[in-house]
Amino acid sequence: MDLNRFDAITKPFGNRSLSRRRALVHGTAAIAAGALAGVGRPAHAREATPTSLTWHPLTGVWMVLSSVASPAIFGADGSVVLAFAASPRQAGAQGVELASPALGTWTPTGERSGRFTVVQVLSDADGAYRGTVTIDGGRPMVSEDGQTFTDDRSDLTVTVRDAANAVVATIPPDGDLPPLTATRIGEGSPGFPNGTPERGTPVS
C-alpha cells in the first residue's frame, strides 16, 4: 500500500499528518410491538430496549473545526455522521480515491463525554469499491454550558481495510495531535466562531 494514502486518511483531523513510520505499524434487536412480535426470538433480543440519549449534551448537530470545517451529528439513538469533505486523493498505484462521509455509533463515557466508532467507504474515480477506513476512539468533552466540545484525540485509532475487507494498516493513537474544537449548530447559528472576518466586497 502506497503511504501517500495516509495523507488523505488523516487530513480530516487537521493539517498535521501522522508519521509514516507509525502508519506501518450495531445487528439491532427488534422491539416487540405485541405478544406475537417476539415469537421465535431469543429472550435477550426480546428484552432489549433502545435507550434515548436526548439527556446527554453531546446529542445534537455540531460544526467541528480543524484545518477544515466538518459538520457532525451525534444522534439521540446513538448514531454518528461526520461530514468530511469528499476530496479526491492520489494514492499511488491504486489511483485516485474518494472517501464517503463517516457513519457509525457513539456511547456516553460520562455526564458530558463520549466516544465513537465510524466508518468511511473508499472508492476509485470510477466508483469501484476500494475498502474502508475505520476511525475508533475520540474523546469529545462537552463544555458546562453545552454549546461547545473539545476532543484531544489522544486515543484515536485508524484502521484501513482493502477491497477484500482485510486489514492492511493500523495507525495507533498519536498523543501529539492538536485538539479539535466544535460549536453547536442552531437556528441562525452555523457554529463558526464569533468574530470570523468577512471577505471584503470585490471592487469592479
List pLDDT tens digits, range 36-71: 233 344 444 444 445 799 999 999 999 998 878 899
Q: What predicted TM-score, i.e. pTM, was given to this entire model?
A: 0.69
Q: What is the mean pLDDT of the chain?
A: 75
Instruction: Let me know if residue 70 belongs to a domain.
Output: yes
- What pLDDT, on the 0 to 100 scale, is given for residue 35? 30
Mean pLDDT of 138-160: 92
Structural domain range at position 145: 5-26+48-184
Domain count, the chain: 1
pLDDT at residue 1 tops 50: no
- What pLDDT, on the 0 to 100 scale, is given for residue 158? 92
Instruction: Let me know if residue 203 belongs to a domain.
Output: no
Q: Which residue has the higher pLDDT, 199 or 171?
A: 171
Instruction: Let me know if residue 78 belongs to a domain.
Output: yes
pLDDT at residue 150 tops 90: yes
Instruction: Let me know if residue 200 belongs to a domain.
Output: no
Residue with cell 473545526: 65
